[in-house]
Structure 1
Amino acid sequence: MRATAVPLAALALALLLTSCSDGDGGDGGGEKQSEGATAACAIGDVGVEVGPANNAPAPGDTGNVPVTLTNNTADCTLDGLPSVTLQAEGTSAEVPPDAAATGEKRTLAEGGTVSFTITYVRGEGEGSLTAQTAEFALPGADTTESFPWSYGDVALKDGKPEASVSGFQQGD
């Protein structure tokens, strides 16, 4: 008889504790997601458009490649900077952020757009990277998206690409 009384008492206590509320619709304990908090943007949830580019026509000239992202799902958050890597046959080179780039947190509404720009100096022959693809990731994401690099060789300075990536710019 006593063996069934303890489990029933424990069950009653558990039910009592889980029915407690802090008055704001919460569960009375644990961490709560703040109101209006959104998930991080993921590459699989955004449309990607590369270009049109402002190609660097000759070695030493500067070119710009814009990448526009359109959110195809519910609101999401970008908290940081995009990361970009140029891929060449047998090697890869990370593109550093532009000195003025800020990784401010922003919400990207459903259907909204943001863009970032890869700025590069055209190279030629030795002392340049013959990039074949560019690969990028969104802040905090493990997945990447790549696109063909058809904008010419990228100059190298101290073994690193003479290139930079901007922060996100909100679209219209």
Structure 2
Amino acid sequence: MAATYSFDIVSDFDRQELVNAVDQAVRDIKSRYDLKDTQTTVELGDEVITINTDSEFTLESVHTVLREKAAKRQLSMKIFDFGKVESASGNRVRQEIKLKKGISQEIGKQISKLIRDEFKKVQASIQGDAVRVSSKTKDDLQAVMQRLKQEDFPVALQFTNYR
């Protein structure tokens, strides 16, 4: 009996960890001396984080605090897609940070092409916003995981459903 093993490549993040990171960043911003009087707001929506502050300089400081808190919670910086800085009312600035989730068709094709080119006994198929990788040996799947970790894709990759 020839059993096949597989795993899925996905791009996702832990929503609760992101909520905690944003909450910690907001607390840190309210207590920091250089950011205390800027009336900075950081709002977490379903697919976007909105920052409203008084200048681009303080916006950079807020970015630093947010990145630091996300890194402490093992969130990849690749989930953040920083939009352009817009002017808001009252000489303030606003920026939206989109949260990237899922593997696009283009990146899925890059991943499956890399697997096809380098691993002859491994099959990769795109399934929605994930890539399913299957093989007859677990060793081949482990090698694929190691190879993908070496590559720098524009999204954070996780490996799930390993069986």
Q: Where on the TM-score scale, by shorter chain, does this alignment land: which range?
A: under 0.3
Structure (1/2) with the larger helix percentage: 2
Larger radius of gyration: 1
So what's the TM-score if we normalise by structure 2?
Answer: 0.27
Question: Quick one: higher RCO (CA 8 Å, sep 6+), 1 or 2?
Answer: 2
Structure (1/2) with the larger strand percentage: 1
So what's the TM-score if we normalise by structure 1?
Answer: 0.26
